[in-house]
Amino acid sequence: MNAPPRIRGGGAMVEFDHVGLRYGPDAEVLADVSFVLQPGSFYFLTGASGAGKTSLLKLLYLAQRPSRGIVRLMGEDVVALPRDRLPGFRRRIGVVFQDFRLLPHLSARDNIALPLRIAGVEEEDLAGPVGEMLRWIGLSERAHALPATLSGGEQQRVAIARAVIARPQLLIADEPTGNVDPEMAMRLLGLFEALNRLGTTVVVATHDIHLISKIDNAQMMRLEKGRLSDPTGALRYPPANRA
């Protein structure tokens, strides 16, 4: 196993340089996307359905390689990165999928514990953080429930807990509040903000424009037909850097 990647001193968390993405022979779903995400910043990614938000997130969480352009993550060009080095980067990225993607045969507790187990954490060291996370998302009583028996909102909370339990450096969330009530949405956003204060770079894709006003110093990126219309986040604030 390779050593975990380190961000080069003073470097950006993410750099996209004229990135394009196409699936097969079709037209590009992302075209000439260039932006820089600073460590410790909070970003909202907005855009209409089909604008390319999920494709952009896939590039961010290394589920896809771009068709062209350069993607740097934590200072390293990940486009040409050998496969055996990808897990080291992925362990430092937390992802909340729009469709949750919980493993259906695992309980809520085991789904949340998954990133720690994969990272090699011993079983006796799991109980504390997993229990704490279950308490925080309000599912301690349902720790052993399978995803199929959980409501959509509960599944989403489990998915978020799974994404953040390993304290990722980059947290990517695709519509994380889409299936929860407003109160839970605010609690989840509060968690993201707390993680952000601890240094985690957060990228939240959302349709909910009202969420953006809830986070101080958050920046907004807007995708329109595969192109980034506001790469600097100047719609609201100048680029923030809390690193």
Partner 1 sequence: MIIPRVPPQHRAMLAQSRMSGPTPWVLALLMLLTLLAAAAGLSLARAANGIGGAIAGRVTVQVVTANPEQRSIEAGRIRRAAAAEPYVSAVRAVPRDEVIASMGRWLGSAGGEDDPVIASLPLPELIDIDLVAGSGATQQARLAALVARASPGARVTPHADWLGPVAGTIRTLAWLAGALVVLMALASAAVVIMTARAALGSHLATIEILHLIGATDPQICRLFQRRIAIDCAQGIVLGALVAVLLIGLFSWQFAGVTAGLGASAAIGAGGWIFLAMLPLLAIALAALTARVTLLRALTMML
| Residue in the structure block whose two tokens are 């695992």 | 106
Residue 146, interface with partner 1 (CB under 8 A)?
Answer: no
Q: From the list 68, 90, 167, 214, which residue makes contact with partner 1 (rule: CB under 8 A)?
A: 90
Q: From the list 103, 127, 194, 234, which residue makes contact with partner 1 (rule: CB under 8 A)?
A: 103
- Asked if residues 93 and 172 have their Cβ atoms less than 8 Å apart, the reply is yes
Q: Which of residues 33-72 bind partner 1 (CB under 8 A)?
A: 61-65
**Category of 40 on φ-ψ map: left (φ > 0), alpha (ψ -120 to 50) or beta:** left
Among residues 123 and 141, whose Cβ is nearest to partner 1? 123
C-beta pairs of 79-88 under 8 Å, 24+ apart in sequence: 84/2, 85/2, 85/5, 86/62, 87/1, 88/1, 88/2, 88/3, 88/4, 88/5
Residue 195, interface with partner 1 (CB under 8 A)?
Answer: no
Residue 88, interface with partner 1 (CB under 8 A)?
Answer: yes
Question: Smallest gap, in angstroms, from Cβ of residue 166 to partner 1?
Answer: 8
Contact residues toward partner 1 (CB under 8 A) are 1, 61-65, 83-84, 86-88, 90-91, 95, 101, 103-106, 110, 113-115, 117-119, 123, 162
